[in-house]
């Protein structure tokens, strides 16, 4: 999976806020693109990029990057720390998420064909939509056409319910012909099996993150401020094996990476905590692969008959497009395609999953019982039996 052989005629990518290379890996798979430069400040992520993209120039700080190389695509999965519900929600002006301003400083003096931005769904609503207004206004100031679309990673076949904003901009091409050319209805519930359900064990008062035959969004940090995987209930498993958490390599697979992709970061943090954060913050590879495939094809067709004018100051919809002259809402679903689905228990390795600890289980069960949430009584019973099993083992 290394960039061992580079096709010099293939599209070139400059990856800002590169993380562990999810966008770059997906674009390589989808359109044959190769990374010409990567920029990432966090040492564990740098270790992964150096391992997986050997020989690619790696800059350590976007604040000191003077210019972009001559590339066709610039990617910017800028930090969501100040935008996500699991983060500080300080907004686009926060210390981390505000780093995206350096992208626009660099774009002022460069001419890529495409710019790709990826970030959390909460960006659409946070602080009255100020983050989106900033991004859109900056693209318009620099004479870019823009479009964005909220997508669910499950459309790529991975059993992870992960909703992310994909934004595409260009001075010379129409991003609508890429983002809106593929559109299908969300599949019915019959697509999913009933043998496993994912949930957030860190929640339990206001929500569960409940997901049938899938895990809820993998996160770099939880509401408790710690990198932690969601849990899953295996319906027919015996106590002690029914309430479990996936392994780190399961998480890599659930994000579309080869298992072991982040091995180079193993020495950072305790018990692989840095690797969990890296995987939780990454872009699902299949999403970037779909985008790359679309970018590599002739412009697609899309129907603008359903577009509605988007007045400034109104809420940001799930999909929209525009330029310096006008903004429009577009009726796209979160499902560009329906790729073959990998069921949750066919992806995770049950032999390596860890039983949820007694402390975590008891805390979650207490919150669940005190809440007014609606949930499957068999699920609550399984959690209770798991706590009793773990307590007996401790005793």
Residue position matching structure tokens 């004479």: 143
pLDDT at 226: 53
Query: Concatenated DSSP letters for 245-267?
Result: E--HHHHHHHTTPPTTTTGGGTT
- Asked whether residue 35 carries a pLDDT value surpassing 50, the answer given is yes
What is the tens place of the pLDDT at every residue in 201-244?
999 999 999 999 999 999 876 544 456 789 999 999 999 999 99
What is the tens place of the pLDDT at every residue in 92-114?
454 445 688 899 999 999 999 99
- Asked whether residue 84 carries a pLDDT value surpassing 90, the answer given is no
Q: Is 80 a catalytic residue?
A: yes
Mean pLDDT of 310-319: 92
Going by pLDDT thresholds of 50, 70 and 90, the confidence category of residue 6 is low
Q: How far, rounded to the nearest angstrom, does the alpha carbon of residue 225 sit from its chain's CA centroid? A: 18
- Asked whether residue 274 carries a pLDDT value surpassing 80, the answer given is yes
What is the tens place of the pLDDT at every residue in 128-141?
888 899 999 999 99
Counting other chains too, the contacts that 365-374 makes at CB distance below 8 Å and 24 or more residues apart are 365/204, 366/204, 367/203, 367/204, 367/205, 368/204, 368/208, 370/205, 371/204, 371/205, 371/206, 373/204, 373/205, 373/206, 373/207, 373/208
pLDDT at 86: 47
3-state secondary structure of 168: strand
The token duo for 30 is 């989808």
Minimal CA–CA distance to 34: which of 45, 43, 44, 25?
A: 25
pLDDT greater at residue 189 or residue 149: 149
pLDDT greater at residue 304 or residue 291: 291
Sign of CA dihedral 195, 213, 85, 247: positive
Residue 169, H or E segment? strand 163-170
Using CA atoms, how far apart are residues 336 and 182, in angstroms rounded to an integer? 5
- Asked whether residue 66 carries a pLDDT value surpassing 90, the answer given is yes
The token duo for 210 is 């409940």
pLDDT greater at residue 16 or residue 86: 16
- CATH code, 12-186+283-329: 3.40.50.150
- Asked whether residue 20 carries a pLDDT value surpassing 60, the answer given is yes
pLDDT greater at residue 324 or residue 26: 26
Q: How many helices (H) and strands (E) does the chain have?
A: 11, 17
Fill in the DSSP letter of residue 185.
Answer: P
Catalytic member of 35, 71, 80, 348? 80
| Main-chain phi, psi angles of 224, to 5 degrees | -90, 0
Environment class of 308 (CB within 10 Å of its CB; exposed 0-12, middle 13-18, buried 19+): exposed
3-state secondary structure of 319: strand
Q: Which of 214-223, 313-322, 331-340 bottoms out in mean pLDDT, i.e. has the lowest?
A: 214-223
pTM of the model: 0.92
Domain boundaries of the chain, sorted by first residue? 12-186+283-329, 189-281+341-394
Cβ(118)–Cβ(166) under 8 Å? yes
pLDDT at 227: 60
- Asked whether residue 149 carries a pLDDT value surpassing 80, the answer given is yes
Residue position matching structure tokens 């580079």: 6
């Amino acid at each position: 999976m290394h960039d061992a052989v580079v096709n010099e005629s293939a599209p070139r990518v400059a990856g800002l806020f590169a993380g562990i290379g999810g966008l770059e890996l997906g674009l390589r798979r989808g359109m044959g693109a190769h990374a010409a430069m990567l920029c990432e400040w966090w040492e564990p992520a740098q270790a992964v990029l150096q391992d997986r993209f050997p020989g690619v120039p790696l800059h350590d700080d976007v604040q000191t990057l003077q210019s972009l190389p001559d590339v066709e695509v610039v990617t910017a999965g800028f930090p969501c720390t100040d935008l996500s519900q699991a983060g500080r929600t300080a907004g686009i002006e926060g210390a981390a998420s505000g780093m995206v301003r350096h992208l626009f400083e660099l774009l002022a003096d460069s001419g890529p064909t495409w710019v790709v931005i990826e970030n959390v769904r909460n960006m659409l609503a946070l602080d009255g939509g100020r983050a989106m207004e900033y991004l859109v206004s900056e693209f318009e100031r620099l004479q870019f056409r823009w479009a964005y679309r909220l997508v669910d990673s499950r459309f790529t076949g991975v059993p992870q319910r992960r909703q992310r904003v994909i934004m595409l901009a260009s001075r010379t091409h129409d991003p609508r012909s890429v983002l809106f050319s593929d559109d299908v209805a969300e599949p019915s519930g019959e697509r999913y099996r009933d043998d496993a359900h994912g949930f957030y064990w860190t929640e339990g008062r206001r929500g569960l993150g409940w997901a049938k035959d899938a895990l809820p969004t993998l996160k770099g940090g939880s509401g408790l401020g710690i990198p932690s995987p969601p849990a899953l209930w295996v319906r027919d498993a015996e106590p002690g094996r029914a309430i479990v958490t996936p392994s780190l390599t399961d998480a890599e697979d659930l994000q579309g990476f080869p298992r072991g992709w982040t091995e180079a970061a193993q020495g950072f943090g305790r018990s692989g905590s840095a690797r969990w954060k890296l995987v939780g913050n990454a872009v699902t590879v299949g999403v970037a692969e779909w985008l790359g495939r679309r970018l590599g094809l002739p412009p697609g067709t899309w129907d603008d008959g359903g577009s509605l004018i988007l007045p400034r100051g109104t809420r940001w919809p799930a999909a929209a497009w525009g330029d310096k002259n006008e903004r429009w809402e577009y009726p796209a679903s979160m499902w560009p395609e329906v790729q073959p689905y990998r069921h949750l228990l066919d992806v995770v390795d049950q032999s390596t999953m860890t039983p949820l600890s007694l402390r975590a289980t008891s805390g979650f069960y207490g919150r669940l019982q005190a809440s007014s949430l609606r949930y499957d009584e068999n699920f609550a019973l399984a959690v209770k039996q798991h706590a009793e099993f773990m307590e007996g083992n401790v005793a």
